[in-house]
Every structure is written in structure tokens, then in C-alpha cells.
């Protein structure tokens, strides 16, 4: 069972600032202590060799500690900046991925709707073509109709033939 700890950006800003001040104070104390030891070492240069050896041994013990403290403090500052940058990048990438997913779903719905409309149009055109073809081939031409304008019947027949030709072009 893994629990994620809250990030520094979600923590109380006053607590974060306090931790920064404490870390800076500790680092400052270690560095000031090291500088004091170096000053003491150079002020005792004229002293006996035994005093010089003690200061040298003390500096050899404290030097790694100072390196660790300074390295930790400055590495922490740069690492936190990189972590915050990576977190912001991850959030923006996540938001972009969510928007892309929504757009993809919308595009899929639009494609399904367009396919449905195309299928419906194709069915309608097919039905039109079959009906018009049956009507024209059935022998129900103008000879059996009483009255009416023969010119209008010819125009209607020509329009039906043109519509049939358009429907057949679309179907192919």
C-alpha cells in the first residue's frame, strides 16, 4: 500500500518557508564554524607544531561535513526547482491529453453521425432510383392519361429521367 505524500506546492507556505530558514541557518552555522576554524588555523601559524597538528586534524574532520551540508543545501534548491518544473509540465501534459481524448471522442461521434447520414442518403437514393426506374419501365406513360398538357408531361418525364441519372451517378 503506497501513499503519496503531499508535494511542497500543496503544503502550507509558512511551514515551507520555516523549513527553508532552518536549513539555511544550519548551513550558515556550519560554514561560519568552518571559517572560524580556518582563521584560527592561520592565526596559530607561529605556534607550536602540536597546535598546528590539532587544528589540521580538526579541519580534516569538519571539511567533509561542510561539503555535505553545502552540497545538500544547494542541490536541494536546484532539485526542488526541477521537480516543480517537472510537476508543472506533467500537469499541462495531462490536461492536453484529456483535451485530446475529448476531441477524439467528439470526432468519433461526428464520424458515426456522418456515416449514418451517408448510409441514409445512399438508401434514399437507391429507393429513388428503383422507384423511378419501375415507373418509367411500367408502361404507365402519357398515352393512357386523359386531358392535361402533353408538354408538361414530357417535361415531367425529362425531369424524372434527369433525377434518375443523378441518383445513379451518386450510387456509383
DSSP conformation letters of 76-141 = HHHHHHHHHHHHHHHHHHHHHHHHHHHHHHHHHHHHHHHHHHHHHHHHHHHHHHHHHHHHHHTT--
In a domain, 45, yes or no: yes
The answer as to whether 98 is a domain residue is yes
User: Whose CA is closest to 142, among 126, 160, 119?
Assistant: 160
* Total domain count, the chain: 1
Report if residue 7 sits inside a domain: no
Domain that holds residue 35: 13-171
Q: What is the pLDDT along the chain (172 residues), one digit of tens a residue?
A: 444 444 544 557 788 788 778 878 887 887 788 888 778 777 766 667 777 777 778 778 878 877 887 787 777 767 877 888 889 999 999 999 999 999 999 999 999 999 988 888 787 777 777 777 766 665 555 555 555 556 655 666 676 777 777 777 766 6
Per-residue confidence (pLDDT) for residue 89, from 0 to 100: 93
Closest by Cα among 26, 45, 38 to 62 = 38
Q: 0.75 exceeded by the pTM?
A: no
Q: Which residue has the cell 425531369?
A: 159
Establish if 93 belongs to a structural domain: yes
Residue 3 domain-assigned (yes or no): no
- In angstroms, rounded to a whole number, what is the distance separating the alpha carbons of residues 154 and 107? 47
**By the 8 A CB rule, do 126 and 170 touch?**
no
- Within a domain: 90: yes
- What is the C-alpha to C-alpha distance for residues 120 and 112, in angstroms, rounded to an integer? 12
Amino acid at each position: 500500500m503506497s501513499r503519496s505524500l503531499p508535494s511542497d506546492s500543496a503544503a502550507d507556505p509558512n511551514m515551507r518557508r520555516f523549513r527553508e530558514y532552518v536549513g539555511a541557518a544550519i548551513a550558515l552555522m556550519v560554514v561560519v564554524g568552518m571559517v572560524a576554524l580556518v582563521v584560527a588555523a592561520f592565526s596559530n601559524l607561529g605556534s607550536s607544531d602540536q597546535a598546528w597538528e590539532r587544528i589540521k586534524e580538526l579541519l580534516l574532520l569538519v571539511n567533509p561535513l561542510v561539503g555535505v551540508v553545502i552540497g545538500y543545501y544547494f542541490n536541494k534548491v536546484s532539485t526542488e526547482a526541477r521537480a516543480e518544473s517537472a510537476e508543472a509540465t506533467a500537469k499541462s501534459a495531462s490536461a492536453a491529453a484529456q483535451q485530446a481524448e475529448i476531441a477524439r471522442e467528439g470526432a468519433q461521434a461526428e464520424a458515426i453521425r456522418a456515416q449514418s447520414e451517408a448510409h441514409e442518403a445512399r438508401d434514399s437514393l437507391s429507393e429513388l432510383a428503383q422507384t423511378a426506374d419501375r415507373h418509367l419501365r411500367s408502361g404507365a406513360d402519357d398515352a393512357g392519361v386523359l386531358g392535361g398538357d402533353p408538354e408538361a408531361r414530357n417535361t415531367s418525364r425529362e425531369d424524372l429521367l434527369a433525377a434518375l441519372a443523378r441518383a445513379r451517378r451518386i450510387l456509383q
